[in-house]
Amino acid sequence: MPDTTPQPVFLADYQPPPFLVESVALTFRLHPTATRVSSEIRFRPNPDATPGHDLRLDGEGLNLLHASIDAMPLDARPDTTGLTIPAALLPEGAFVWQAEVEIAPEGNTALEGLYMSGGMYCTQCEAEGFRKITYYPDRPDVMAPFRVRIESDLPVLLSNGNPVASGAGWAEWDDPHPKPSYLFALVGGDLVSTPDSFTTMDGRHVTLNIWVRKGDEHSTAYAMDALKRSMLWDEQVYGRAYDLDIFNIVAVDDFNMGAMENKGLNIFNSRYVLATPETATDADFASIERIIAHEYFHNWTGNRITCRDWFQLSLKEGLTVFRDQQFMGDMRSHAVKRIEDVLTLRARQFREDAGPLAHPVRPESYVEINNFYTATVYEKGAELIRMLRLLVGEDRYAAALDLYFNRHDGQACTIEDWIAVFEEAGGRDLSQFKRWYGQAGTPRIDATEDWQDGQYTLTLRQHTAPTPGQPLKEPLLIPVAMGLIGPDGTEFLPTQVLELDGPTLSVTYDNLPARPVASLLRGFSAPVVLDHTQPPADLALLLAHDTDPFNRFEAGRSLARDTLHAMIMQTAAQPDPQFIDALRIMICDDTLDPAFRALALRLPGQEDLAASLSEAGHTPDPTVIFQIRQKAMHAIATALKAELEKIAQDMETPGPFNPAARDAGRRALRIQAVAALAYADHGDAAKNAFAHANNMTEQLGAWSALLGIGAGAQEGAEFYARWRHDRLVMDKWFMAQIMFAAPDTAVALTETLTRHASFDWKNPNRFRAVIGALGANPAGFHCQGGAGYRLVADWLLRLDGVNPQAAARNSTVFETWRRYDSDRQTLLRSELQRMASHPTLSRDMTEMVARMLGE
Ligand code: B3K
Ligand code: ZN
């Protein structure tokens, strides 16, 4: 059925809920096509709302069997989004709503609400999935304790909170902590767990489980270890202990995102739980560690303190991302983690901010809230917290967080509540800083310098370009961490934080013995684009001597980018020798962390170059970018062949596989070296690495390196033969081939693989591994004639029919369409228009496509 015209929801329209919920009791009788859900909900009028309201309950796709209020049967007439009980039928004061509905989890392909995956029942309620389970005021500011009874023959029956009792065919759970409905969860399946435990700092013994399908039980040890380290870290760093007797994690194969922080019952996409050295790469291990921590940290930042409404999403997501970044820095390396986070921020969030989907960290309206789980809300939201911490200092940050937890525990809060604790504990007015939450777009800072008679003057100017719906921008409060380096490499000025709070700021430093080289935006102290032209010699100096590891990396990155730009713009035929020399120094410096050297060896990607060219006012040509990048790789590999060979050898990690940072960093550098070498040795080193790999990092890395030079057919066949029965590894098999396919074959290969027996397109991981992979091959996706665009649009439309959320998420591959030449723009726009005019397009896709078209 076509959706009716979707109506936006506005932040400005917020009204407190007219009724609060004192308690919820649910009974589930599980059945694939006819699950019965009985509910008993005790309501009371909200003293903070005007009296006399009707009772409005959300509900979608429910078959209402009966309903009553205070045991009096009701003739309730649901509409397509819920039902309304007129105020006249409601008792004064508190009352009990009872209802029974029937739902069909087996047919729920949208993977929202109660659905089935591989024979198990599971739920996903955030943001608005609970309304697909029963009638309820499905909004985060209604918090209540839940009691749940599950009846089913399946052996494992789980819900939130603590187990109360169970018997043959049933189990009961009680969650004493008031929570919004989006944190409700239920699981039923034939699952296994190897239990573990953790004792909290206040002496609570907590049972820990990671539930998986039989056969996967040997793949959960790393996730369990990460969970225990997360629990300890949150106690030690934030003083937050776990608050139930049991913590359950369940791995599910069909899941729309990474994982979900349901109270006491986290549900995970199995790719972020299951790992063995043979099947998971170091990047997978790191993702598992991060996401396990992220969902666990939500227990305080999200669950005990939640969001008043969905506009406040970054209150929990930005903060929890920031916390997981801190955790990962502590577990691994702060310098490397910061570089990786900034690369991700630029690749995803700056891209979003520069295009038609730009929106503030706190949006003002939405049509489908699932479309706003974005890099802006998550990653830019985390950057705002990092800036707050820099502005008030570490101690006051800790005090502000203590105040936040003490004041708001058990509440549904706003960004205003958050800013208020920083103003109080941080002792400063943050009204200007708050603009960051409301103003979309990436600010640019233009830095100019003046040097005269021992006096150095730095001038910073800020500017933010208009974004959709926000033509005029105000100056933000931007912390710019900076230092000065002397020509001999000594530090003239250690890190200071300048606060750029108006359109411009000038600072002068006197009595300097020589012209300094400025190291600006140290640690990437603000999510901005810095326009600061520095000659190669200055960049080389920073690369060798900057005390800030991020800016050392950044100097190398600027050299690499300038080199590639010059080749793309045809002002240079070959990479600048200064760049190659700098690269040699960096990758051969044994005093540097191998993980850092591996990042330095990674040239800016095709998408990164397209973005930076476009930022500089040029029209990127994906084909040219691909060719020039290949040419640069060839030149680097030829010039540094001996060094790369030595690295590939030195960085071997003998002994049993260890996923910890030290060995992972060595493997990263080794694989980067092998991949670079492929351009000079016909892939000999990569073939050798593939043949001898005893772990997935090296196996996949080596095969990908071969694919990158147009080889790897035999290795691909071996890979397939070995892993064809492992669904997570098969995602890698699909993805690598398409991502690294030559531009002229990528679309045809993708088409072929969509006909492969294992292309289960309804599985979100597999869809992403095939259709998403083509989007991640820019030269292939943007090939002449638009075949890539058509193929992706066809599949998005098909997926939209069964899973709108997943389709909308994958649709952002079109968001950069205005960046390209007019032929490509025409083709891209016509695909967007074709999708827009599809007769049964979902609300999710309708909103995304309209925004991308700029309507
Ligand atoms: N809170 C969930 C995301 C829910 C997405 C709903 N479309 C996972 C997380 O951020 O931890
Ligand atoms: Zn989260």
Give dist(CA 624, CA 606) in Å, integer: 10
Q: Locate CATH 1.10.390.10 in the chain.
A: 306-438
Q: Are 275 and 223 in contact (CB under 8 A)?
A: yes
In eight-state DSSP terms, residue 516 is -
Please report where in the chains the tokens 């850092």 appear, as a residue.
596
Give dist(CA 483, CA 134) in Å, integer: 58
Which residue's CA lies nearest to atom 4 of ligand 1?
Answer: 126
Which residue's CA lies nearest to atom 6 of ligand 1?
Answer: 126
Give dist(CA 453, CA 745) in Å, integer: 60
Q: What is the maximum alpha-carbon separation in the chain? A: 89
Q: Locate CATH 2.60.40.1730 in the chain.
A: 18-189
Q: How far lies 686's CA from each of 274, 654, 779, in Å?
A: 27, 18, 23
Q: Give the ligand with the smallest distance to the CA of 322.
A: 2
pLDDT at 495: 98
Which residue's CA lies nearest to atom 3 of ligand 1?
Answer: 260
**172 given a catalytic annotation:** no
Which residue's CA lies nearest to atom 8 of ligand 1?
Answer: 260
Q: Are 250 and 213 in contact (CB under 8 A)?
A: no
- Where do the H-state alpha helices sit in 709-803? 713-723, 727-739, 746-754, 764-767, 773-775, 778-781, 787-800
| Nearest atom, ligand 1, residue 317 CA | 10
| Nearest atom, ligand 1, residue 370 CA | 7
Query: Distance from the CA of 317 to the center of ligand 2, in angstroms?
Result: 5
Q: How far lies 460's CA from each of 499, 520, 835, in Å?
A: 10, 10, 44
Query: Distance from the CA of 294 to the center of ligand 2, in angstroms?
Result: 6
Give dist(CA 140, CA 58) in Å, integer: 13
Asked if the peptide bond before residue 127 counts as cis, ω within 30 degrees of 0, the response is: yes
Determine the number of helices (DSSP H) and then strands (DSSP E) in the chain. 30, 31
The torsion angles phi and psi of 167, rounded to 5 degrees, stand at: -150, -170
pLDDT at 350: 98
Query: Distance from the CA of 837 to the center of ligand 1, in angstroms?
Result: 29
Q: How far lies 337's CA from each of 44, 523, 673, in Å?
A: 48, 11, 20
- Region for residue 82 given its phi and psi (left: phi exceeds 0; alpha: psi -120 to 50; beta: otherwise): left
* 355-372: pLDDT as tens digits: 999 999 999 999 999 999
Query: Distance from the CA of 304 to the center of ligand 2, in angstroms?
Result: 14
Query: Distance from the CA of 478 to the center of ligand 2, in angstroms?
Result: 26
Give dist(CA 255, CA 720) in Å, integer: 24
Question: Which mutation among 292, 317, 322 tests ligand 1's pocket best, with the greatest number of atoms within 8 A of CB?
Answer: 317
Please report where in the chains the tokens 């080749």 appear, as a residue.
567
Q: How far is CA 831 from the centre of its chain?
A: 26
Query: Distance from the CA of 139 to the center of ligand 2, in angstroms?
Result: 17
For residue 39, the tally of other CB atoms under 10 A from its CB is 19
Which CATH number describes the domain made up of 18-189?
2.60.40.1730
Pocket of ligand 1 (CB under 6 A): 126-127, 257, 259-261, 294-295, 298, 317, 370, 373
Question: Which mutation among 287, 313, 327, 373 tests ligand 1's pocket best, with the greatest number of atoms within 8 A of CB?
Answer: 373
The torsion angles phi and psi of 172, rounded to 5 degrees, stand at: -125, 140
Residues contacting 23, CB < 8 A, separation 6+: 41, 42, 144, 145, 146, 147
Q: Give the ligand with the smallest distance to the CA of 258.
A: 1
- To 5 degrees, how large is the angle CA 435–CA 440–CA 443? 85
Listing DSSP states for 595-620 in one string gives HHHHHHHSPPPHHHHHHHHHHTT---
Q: Give the ligand with the smallest distance to the CA of 295.
A: 1
* 633-650: pLDDT as tens digits: 999 999 999 999 999 999
Report residues of the chain scoring pLDDT below 50.
1-3
Give dist(CA 571, CA 222) in Å, integer: 50
Q: How far lies 221's CA from each of 86, 320, 327, in Å?
A: 53, 24, 19
| Nearest atom, ligand 1, residue 302 CA | 1
β-partners of residue 124 are: 113
Please report where in the chains the tokens 């991949």 appear, as a residue.
675
* 290-302: pLDDT as tens digits: 999 999 999 999 9
State which fold the 306-438 domain adopts: Neutral Protease; domain 2 (1.10.390)
20: which 2 tokens?
């609060």
Angle separating helix axes 415-426 and 381-392, nearest 10 degrees: 20
pLDDT at 3: 46
| Nearest atom, ligand 1, residue 126 CA | 6
Query: Distance from the CA of 468 to the center of ligand 1, in angstroms?
Result: 25
In eight-state DSSP terms, residue 53 is P
Question: Which mutation among 260, 313, 368 tests ligand 1's pocket best, with the greatest number of atoms within 8 A of CB?
Answer: 260
Give dist(CA 233, CA 207) in Å, integer: 18
Residue of 295, 352, 368, 715 marked catalytic: 295
Q: Are 683 and 706 in contact (CB under 8 A)?
A: yes
| Nearest atom, ligand 1, residue 259 CA | 8
Strand boundaries in 453-565, DSSP class E? 455-463, 478-485, 491-500, 504-509, 517-520, 529-531
